[in-house]
Structure 1
């Protein structure tokens, strides 16, 4: 059994763990990203943890999933949002590999989620798309069993596409849902869990916010179905903790905006490995890159 150290770099936490060559997460933990300290600080955290783990594990290499647009050939961040200052331009692969003396591969986090679902999801599909719904909305595209990243590594950035004149992730992410809750109910710091709890209890004001959230999510997914004609739409992210109830609510809304002749050939499902998909997909990417 070969072992890999995998990292999944997010804006709040860095998940890390030991993953074997069959995609099993042997053990895992997380540490604070402290994104405000900047990209170089994150790299120092990765290097420190990798050197620590090396002392107790025989590793084949280090697989990294990260937010931002990634040139996966060079392992460089080619573009990044404001969440992590000074992240753009960082040569993660080069920096970590030289410091730890192990091979390193790096890929975008939602691309890694898509690779995880391709490897371990058992969806029986060659053409599918993945949406991750969290603070923002990310996307991954698999066409004929190959991950498509675009000519400049930005395919799937549909959080920026407009839905009723607003960016998709502004109106259909958890951040968007919280913004709506503040508009309709009370201007305080909401969580998605609190909002859905009140929704399930029949709170009329929160119901307006949730209905608007689902409307925008439904329109966005319908548009993606029209563009990609996928066999499966896989939805991941923290919101999927709501389970089958969430999936049914999304399906009901997507049905309103998708032509029946097209929708009947498309399945909506929840991601199988949502919480650890970044790490598992990063290892899949590492193995395939190294085998080439």
Structure 2
């Protein structure tokens, strides 16, 4: 299924829709080809978030943001892995009953607009690549430091998702083979040292509180962030050796304290990575914040338009 005029869409469509599907809210944006955001909308995610209820909410929200049905494509970021073709939401974290849901087919059958899906962290990476900190680079990785540690890989200007569509789980690389257990089944993954839960486990405090204490000159908080930066740098070292990106972009809530851990992160990368593998490497904070998801989903849609044009 899909837009019957897809072949002409590259020339005729003026805008696309990016959707960021979350456990509590569905964010939407309508974007022009140059990244201009024409309109945004946020609606609550139905509770419980059963697939059929979420579909109905998305269809209604899309009708509100594009009442004339003029969009050439829809991109959707989902909180979990999709299939390699960007058609099926395999699992959606914090959403009830989401297992192998053919969301792209469902939306196309309701709206007759070509639709493609991607993991929400991948969408955030695409967003930063298109309009954020990564816009000057062709090869980059994004790490989102939050409840977990998500990631995205952009190679030669394209999102890399691997053979099964699940590549780029950067937070699950092993940092310490005897470290804390991870929900993935791994032990000592980067996520177990760099996520909000990891910070709580180690300090009993929230990241923003540690950031405030560091700003006030608290020696223990400053020392914590320096140690945190060392662990993050060690995790990044493995990724840099494999991918040799031009830039590493750090997003997520913990990145608000980047000024306190970036120096240690960079120092650790320089200590562990050969200069030949990190020539010109830049470590940057993400710029788009909570908008990265809808921006990246829109970029996903534009790439679909070009691929089918």
Task: Report TM bin, short chain.
Answer: 0.7 to 0.9
1:242–1:104: structure 2 CA closer, same or farther, 3 Å change rule? same
Q: 2:142 aligns with which of 120, 130, 134?
A: 130
How far residue 253 of structure 1 moved from its aligned partner, in angstroms, is 4.1
Tell me which residue corresponds to 1:54. 66
Tell me if the contact between 2:41 and 2:65 (Cα under 8 Å) persists in the aligned partners. Answer: no
Q: 1:25 aligns with which of 37, 46, 59?
A: 37
Tell me which residue corresponds to 1:172. 194
Tell me which residue corresponds to 2:184. none
How far residue 8 of structure 1 moved from its aligned partner, in angstroms, is 0.8
How far residue 74 of structure 1 moved from its aligned partner, in angstroms, is 4.8
Tell me if the contact between 1:134 and 1:239 (Cα under 8 Å) persists in the aligned partners. Answer: yes
CA root-mean-square deviation = 2.7
1:245–1:15: structure 2 CA closer, same or farther, 3 Å change rule? farther
Tell me if the contact between 1:72 and 1:106 (Cα under 8 Å) persists in the aligned partners. Answer: no
How far residue 207 of structure 1 moved from its aligned partner, in angstroms, is 4.6
After TM superposition, the score normalised by the length of structure 1 is 0.84
1:136-215 to 2 correspondence within 5 Å? 136-164=148-176, 165=179, 166-182=188-204, 190-207=205-222, 209-215=224-230
Q: 1:105 aligns with which of 94, 98, 116?
A: 116
How far residue 38 of structure 1 moved from its aligned partner, in angstroms, is 4.0
What's the CA shift string for 1:36-67, capped at 9, x where partnerless? 53444333321221233333774333221122
Larger relative contact order (Cα-Cα within 8 Å, sequence gap ≥ 6): 2
Q: Output the CA distance in 1 between the equivalents of 2:171 and 2:258.
A: 22
Q: Output the CA distance in 1 between the equivalents of 2:264 and 2:114.
A: 44
Q: Output the CA distance in 2 between the equivalents of 1:88 and 1:224.
A: 30
How far residue 221 of structure 1 moved from its aligned partner, in angstroms, is 1.0
Task: Tell me the matched-pair count.
Answer: 284
Q: 1:232 aligns with which of 219, 235, 247?
A: 247
How far residue 237 of structure 1 moved from its aligned partner, in angstroms, is 2.0
1:282–1:72: structure 2 CA closer, same or farther, 3 Å change rule? farther
1:135–1:224: structure 2 CA closer, same or farther, 3 Å change rule? same
What's the CA shift string for 1:121-180, capped at 9, x where partnerless? 464333221212221111111223332111001111122222223122122022322222
Between stretches 154-163 and 236-245, larger displacement belongs to: 236-245
Q: Output the CA distance in 1 between the equivalents of 2:304 and 2:194.
A: 34
How far residue 105 of structure 1 moved from its aligned partner, in angstroms, is 2.0
Unaligned runs of 5+ in 2: 1-12, 180-187
Tell me if the contact between 1:2 and 1:20 (Cα under 8 Å) persists in the aligned partners. Answer: yes
